Structure 1
């Protein structure tokens, strides 16, 4: 039987000939007679429309769903729920390991119930790229790459053995080994095909390449005209097991680009401008589609840079239609000639091709003349906070003033109560000695705002040859002038694929980067994911001793608190050439666009303009990027080196769990799967575990970076015999639920208002009024069978598509999260783990309702007939004995999500259906 629609209500199945080959396609033109013209439908929605046509089954996809998408042109929004089936799934190792752990646990559960474990197998192609594990332990040496990779293999031996087992045990599951590249860049340069092919009943079907990924920056592939976005690992697992993605037909915001970038302005400056504009517009949960004649001159790598940052501007995706620029990039990167010809023919036949003057219908739109873009960075804490170069010192000073305000207020209160304070004593000690550090007998100053990390890193910019070559050209000019990095700067180069080092070498620029200290440290996310590694100990000691607010400058996409390095409070996103320029300046407390940044070998002042490459310089070296580089680097992309190939794996369809493992543990999620699902019940007398503010990220909820020795996770690892130097990171330990539940809400920068907003993962255990870690308090509440609730502000769960932010919340015993608003992926993940997302309504907040964390909450209206967007009643029992109520909106958004929630989560739903079959 065909795996594609046999109903074909609109007679849409038609042949398409390309050269000597024939393909079957579900033609959108066939809808015109029955449903009306859809030519001005946004091209991103045409991809969804084709998907519904191809999977029409009168159950999950009906005529009314297809009609609703065509009718979207009239309403420009829709409340219609649809079932979407992406062609494939993309994973990285931080999110991929726990996903494969879940699959292994599902196999174990089926085997325990007497079923066939091979019923758990991906039904769609899955690619997992190991890119998040390499850390910058070694840098600024020729051996940095080999030493970091060797350390990565040592630290992650258990995880990599597990992934190799998964590669052999599961069908349609491929692994790209470590030391190869970043998943999104590998996807852009190799995996994605623009138009995908499928076989059914001896025929070849052509359809748009689509995917979901377990990393929020999966959106990067929209630069190639491939519709894709990030989901949590939980939702991705369900998708690979054949479960459709339930979604409302989205609003689509059009973003019109006109003009061209001026001399000296980079794609990074453009994307930071767009990110700020779209965050201000408000596009959470919406598609953004770029259009306008400015696209004709926008390189595909620039498009990918913009699409990559969709999570930062809040959109589900940032889609670029396919055109001649797309085909040129496919040719450059070595895609098959027949596939390129098919892409052009298919997109033109389906109305997916971008034409000059296109004006689709959008829900709303905004525009940007690229000629107006200014050189910028973003920071110091959020990627949407763009700052033009001249205003960086002012922005940093504002941060300093804000950080000092609570200390000043506290000191004043204590003075008024009589006598000096500890703050007075500390201040006197700090002012008696200038901040400094010593290395090899040399004493160096270290000041507020000094740049201690300068990292060319992340998929966002290292996928873009123009900005990477610009960095190399700037390094060349700096070296020729005899410039050097300041001694407190930790520098690194971590490209997203080996092609980058190939073209930097071909252009003769890699030696200059090496000379400055930007030696290759690895092919992976490194600093952007929090794997910046330690600073030199004297520098770390000085930061702590003198209470310094030092800075990092990185070419990444995330700069949230506590993410880059626990001791670095001020983090700035910048283009690769600016990363080096700030490394040379050594501080962000200057107007780098006008002030002197260094002194050359002849004692002359050097300004940024003296070393900044011209557009002509960049265009000349861009000619060094050729197709042979892509053929060479991707010829054996799944093979790995000798160390990878030598990893021994068990020959078993079910995983053999190791009881003493501290990396891979059998999770408890499916322990009772052979029992009926518990009925949905009201939440009674729940305590509040934490009261949190706005923009709490998934990094705050489930950190990816280093594990503190005295944290619950650190204490657990030491009890298992793991020395602190071998802790690795939270991200690398995501296969161990014992570590991850202890790490939930353990970010050193999270602020719990129950403790006056102090930083750190602590709370107040209400029964005894003791301050303790959130994990320890949650375990005490569990012993007393007390349910828990989290209270939060706006944009709860912003950031990475991190399923452990929901899994950990579940394991701590949290039954509901009440917030002013949720970021899309985290809300979905909470439902997928059986945690109830609830939203304040009628402009109410934790402040207007006077929720301090000392209350007990009961939530009524929950039952087995719970409905999407239902209003529920929350009863507040206050410490003084008074009671009051307020209403909340249930953010279970679709009927499918209702079924997942009833089953205890999306994977429970899938597994119960498999067992019942």
Structure 2
């Protein structure tokens, strides 16, 4: 059914309400309950899904059995029923958005080749693309940093931005927020999100919950505003905007009860790191998390959004906060119209979506936190869930170093920190303490292990929260008053998620003090958190390399996977913005900041963190300076862009005019040779293993963000096409060029292919000759020979950001199946969306029990028949000595829709074929 067709409404639920002087119609949960029975105790997030089913009932994708299954959930507290969810809108950022628009352009061309009107390929749901991932911290620490970085960004990304400008005029229902404006999730929270959406259908204005999917895993941040949404791969998002429903099982919902309140000196960041740790320990992968309890009564939306933002880090599909007075307060503060506020309140109360004090829905499982028990914390050195109390940071780093120096008999060693937390240290990644000479600005210094070489106030997670941003500014103010400075080797930066942050820091009189410490504005966008940290000073890079030093970054972000922030920085610590400032002053993580001084004042007296930390009253006074007119001013012309953006010239063609000379945008090969009907699926016979991987291989490992070197396959390709290494830009910025991206697949500097002993980076063994080579080069040799390929992996394969190129690149390298012990939700779905089969080992069987070295031949039977969800397939391993072993594998095609997509060779192929049939 199209998204403008009225529901069948078999339960007769269509009702009306008045708000803001206007009549709205809605599909009433209360009326559904008249027939079905009580729905009051259904979790709020499932009420949103229930409304979605009622509104989209069509007897094809949604029928009465799906609606009944939601009621049955209340009895079983879980369900194996597959439903079709239609989000109200789609959110994209430019790294994942560019390849999405490239695919749309390629689909238009495929439709044109088939003799049909290319304009039929058009978003049916509203799409907002925010350009926020392209700015890099090239310049920092001075007043011109922002202007210089934006100029470099525009020059580097001219081809990409021309393409997006074309898309802005070529596609209907598609808006672009230009560069230099903000981070997509913060723009979504502060401006795009409505909490209640509306559209006209058959002369009636229908009101319904604002819902979305986004091409970034931190789309969940919007859950803090009572808006249900989560990250999907670009592949799924493209299908959603083309009218395809998101196929999902009715999820389990874990209730997280919040009580009490934070103690003096404890931040929302400390709270979220505690929540991440608790929920990872609980195990919520693939589940909804919903927050409840009277602790929410005084919790502002900014704090809720900080917690919701990190749902991918605690593994949940979303972290949902129901609508209440705090929601209205935030909507009012951020300049939403009064009529919209009236609609949100009236609709939420009419639908039972308004949170009342003491309300406790039925959940699959629950856990609870007294916020008064939260303590100051960081997380690291390479996983967001590995919380370390501030008081234990010094000991934690020292233990990390000791562990690394211990017997190198096992590949991984475990470091136990407080509370039974486990952080993983890889013993060939960390090295014994040594110090290196360092000359900076004519000063002779020493760079020690644990040196903080990057201190970045960055990422939507925390820069959306005025309380922690003001706290950072107040610490800076007090530090400057005492004559403290950031250590010379620390690369400092401030990259807020919106221009409003700049406004309120200036009004509060705090930006000048941040500038004095080197925290000048470097850009509005995702920077250090996604690997756009830019180069370190030459002297610092030289000292790290020569001493093989284990140094640190401290950032207010949500991701700290190894190799992500900077290739030379092996330990990365997530922290609140005020702690970022504190560590810039201290200059090393091998200090106990609860006891040891950060530095000395003008009189040579030691200055401790407690001397600088602002009181809650001081923070609250500063936060009072955040005003509605700031939001209205900055978002008044959010889609306009600056003069450089406006001056970009593009054609008005409905089909993109591809340039063979572009190294940023190329016509992808996905639809080449595509017939009207899908080709039959065949069993995999005697495939070689391209990579043999361990646990927690992330999408950063598979399709890395950040920089790359001249001697890599991607670097060689660009140089062959006339691009100098200084102009490489980042992998993320090149996502519109499949030639670069397939060369970057499995190319992360920290990936470890177990086919090669002790080798880091994107290499493999080309089995026919035994030669070590780049994974891309080996894959091309296998393709020349017509040899199918598989990837074998451990647990949690594909964790991390929703990178569609992790799946696209895997497919283009010739990989037909991945066999792993478990999968992250988005990457599993993306593999299917690109026609790659995700298979799972049975409990007790893995690459180790099968004694795989990577030199075996792999055959997989059972693909040539009907593809069905969860089917059992047989894998035969043929060893080099000729012996064989078989085991059964479970297909991780989980739903009927996924089976259809896989049979078509991918979701986009399915969409194009369906559109051609209906044309």
Q: Which bin holds the TM-score, normalised by the shorter protein?
A: over 0.9
Mapped partners of 1:229, 1:819: distance in 2: 24
Contact 1:396 1:589 in 2 (8 A): yes
**1:558 has 2:559 as partner:** yes
Deviation at 1:757, TM superposition (A): 4.3
Relative to structure 1, is the Cα distance of residues 409 and 3 closer, same or farther in structure 2, using a 3 angstrom cutoff?
Answer: closer
**1:362 has 2:349 as partner:** no
Query: 1:634 corresponds to which residue?
Result: 635
Mapped partners of 2:305, 2:770: distance in 1: 51
**1:344 has 2:342 as partner:** no
1:18-39 deviation per Cα after TM superposition (whole angstroms, max 9, x unaligned): 2421001000011223211111
Contact 1:305 1:460 in 2 (8 A): yes
1:539-565 deviation per Cα after TM superposition (whole angstroms, max 9, x unaligned): 101101110011000000000011000
Query: 2:535 corresponds to which residue?
Result: 534
Query: 1:871 corresponds to which residue?
Result: 872
Partner SS for 1:858: strand
Deviation at 1:528, TM superposition (A): 0.5
* More deviation, 19-28/727-736: 19-28
Partner SS for 2:160: helix
Q: Counterparts of 1:107-118 in structure 2 under 5 Å?
A: 107-118=108-119
Q: Counterparts of 1:816-835 in structure 2 under 5 Å?
A: 816-835=817-836
Q: Counterparts of 1:206-225 in structure 2 under 5 Å?
A: 206-225=207-226
1:141-190 deviation per Cα after TM superposition (whole angstroms, max 9, x unaligned): 00000000000000000000000000000001000000000000000000
Partner SS for 2:16: strand
**1:546 has 2:547 as partner:** yes
Mapped partners of 2:630, 2:7: distance in 1: 43
**1:805 has 2:803 as partner:** no
**1:704 has 2:715 as partner:** no
Q: Counterparts of 1:878-917 in structure 2 under 5 Å?
A: 878-917=879-918
Relative to structure 1, is the Cα distance of residues 447 and 845 closer, same or farther in structure 2, using a 3 angstrom cutoff?
Answer: same
Contact 1:864 1:902 in 2 (8 A): no
Partner SS for 1:254: strand
Mapped partners of 1:583, 1:533: distance in 2: 17
Query: 1:729 corresponds to which residue?
Result: 730
Query: 1:248 corresponds to which residue?
Result: 249
Query: 1:689 corresponds to which residue?
Result: 690
Mapped partners of 2:843, 2:156: distance in 1: 50
Relative to structure 1, is the Cα distance of residues 541 and 369 closer, same or farther in structure 2, using a 3 angstrom cutoff?
Answer: same
Query: 1:673 corresponds to which residue?
Result: 674
Relative to structure 1, is the Cα distance of residues 748 and 508 closer, same or farther in structure 2, using a 3 angstrom cutoff?
Answer: same
1:608-649 deviation per Cα after TM superposition (whole angstroms, max 9, x unaligned): 000011101001111100000000000000000000000001
1:758-806 deviation per Cα after TM superposition (whole angstroms, max 9, x unaligned): 2111011111000111111111111111111111111100000000000
**1:841 has 2:842 as partner:** yes
Partner SS for 1:815: strand
Deviation at 1:408, TM superposition (A): 8.9
1:496-520 deviation per Cα after TM superposition (whole angstroms, max 9, x unaligned): 0000010000101010001110000
Query: 1:720 corresponds to which residue?
Result: 721
1:360-406 deviation per Cα after TM superposition (whole angstroms, max 9, x unaligned): 00000000000000100000000000000121122222332344457
Query: 1:286 corresponds to which residue?
Result: 287
Query: 1:607 corresponds to which residue?
Result: 608
Q: Counterparts of 1:30-69 in structure 2 under 5 Å?
A: 30-69=31-70
Contact 2:6 2:202 in 1 (8 A): no
Deviation at 1:5, TM superposition (A): 3.4
Partner SS for 1:122: coil
1:575-594 deviation per Cα after TM superposition (whole angstroms, max 9, x unaligned): 00000000000000011111
Query: 1:770 corresponds to which residue?
Result: 771
Contact 1:5 1:53 in 2 (8 A): no
1:200-255 deviation per Cα after TM superposition (whole angstroms, max 9, x unaligned): 12211100000000000000000000000000000000000000000000000000
Query: 2:391 corresponds to which residue?
Result: 390
Query: 2:427 corresponds to which residue?
Result: none
Deviation at 1:260, TM superposition (A): 0.1
Mapped partners of 1:216, 1:7: distance in 2: 33
Partner SS for 1:686: strand
Q: Counterparts of 1:397-412 in structure 2 under 5 Å?
A: 397-405=398-406
Deviation at 1:298, TM superposition (A): 0.8
Mapped partners of 1:222, 1:183: distance in 2: 14
Relative to structure 1, is the Cα distance of residues 27 and 4 closer, same or farther in structure 2, using a 3 angstrom cutoff?
Answer: farther
Partner SS for 2:768: coil
Mapped partners of 2:246, 2:402: distance in 1: 46
Partner SS for 1:707: coil
Query: 1:761 corresponds to which residue?
Result: 762
Relative to structure 1, is the Cα distance of residues 95 and 877 closer, same or farther in structure 2, using a 3 angstrom cutoff?
Answer: same
Partner SS for 1:786: coil
Mapped partners of 2:469, 2:337: distance in 1: 26
Mapped partners of 2:788, 2:836: distance in 1: 11
Query: 1:331 corresponds to which residue?
Result: 332
Mapped partners of 1:559, 1:597: distance in 2: 24
Contact 1:234 1:829 in 2 (8 A): yes
Query: 1:177 corresponds to which residue?
Result: 178
Relative to structure 1, is the Cα distance of residues 64 and 757 closer, same or farther in structure 2, using a 3 angstrom cutoff?
Answer: farther
Mapped partners of 2:3, 2:629: distance in 1: 39
Query: 1:84 corresponds to which residue?
Result: 85
Query: 1:514 corresponds to which residue?
Result: 515
Partner SS for 1:771: strand
Query: 1:624 corresponds to which residue?
Result: 625
TM-score normalised by structure 1 residue count: 0.97
1:796-851 deviation per Cα after TM superposition (whole angstroms, max 9, x unaligned): 00000000000000000001111111000000000000000011112211111212
Aligned residues: 899
Mapped partners of 1:743, 1:887: distance in 2: 32
* More deviation, 652-661/835-844: 835-844
TM-score normalised by structure 2 residue count: 0.97
Query: 2:147 corresponds to which residue?
Result: 146
Query: 2:487 corresponds to which residue?
Result: 486
* More deviation, 552-561/593-602: 593-602
* More deviation, 131-140/389-398: 389-398
Mapped partners of 1:230, 1:666: distance in 2: 26
Mapped partners of 1:378, 1:184: distance in 2: 22
Mapped partners of 1:100, 1:801: distance in 2: 16
Mapped partners of 1:676, 1:34: distance in 2: 43
Deviation at 1:601, TM superposition (A): 1.0
Contact 2:485 2:517 in 1 (8 A): yes
Deviation at 1:88, TM superposition (A): 0.1
Contact 2:3 2:243 in 1 (8 A): no
Deviation at 1:438, TM superposition (A): 1.7
Partner SS for 1:866: coil
Mapped partners of 2:162, 2:405: distance in 1: 48
Contact 2:440 2:488 in 1 (8 A): no
Query: 1:575 corresponds to which residue?
Result: 576
Mapped partners of 2:439, 2:692: distance in 1: 42
Deviation at 1:675, TM superposition (A): 4.9
1:470-520 deviation per Cα after TM superposition (whole angstroms, max 9, x unaligned): 000000000000000111000000000000010000101010001110000
Partner SS for 2:858: strand
In structure 2, runs of 5+ residues without a counterpart are: 412-429
Partner SS for 1:297: coil
Relative to structure 1, is the Cα distance of residues 409 and 345 closer, same or farther in structure 2, using a 3 angstrom cutoff?
Answer: closer
Partner SS for 1:751: coil
Relative to structure 1, is the Cα distance of residues 440 and 343 closer, same or farther in structure 2, using a 3 angstrom cutoff?
Answer: closer
Relative to structure 1, is the Cα distance of residues 402 and 807 closer, same or farther in structure 2, using a 3 angstrom cutoff?
Answer: farther
* More deviation, 234-243/387-396: 387-396
* More deviation, 466-475/853-862: 853-862
Partner SS for 2:297: helix
Query: 2:425 corresponds to which residue?
Result: none
Mapped partners of 1:131, 1:241: distance in 2: 24
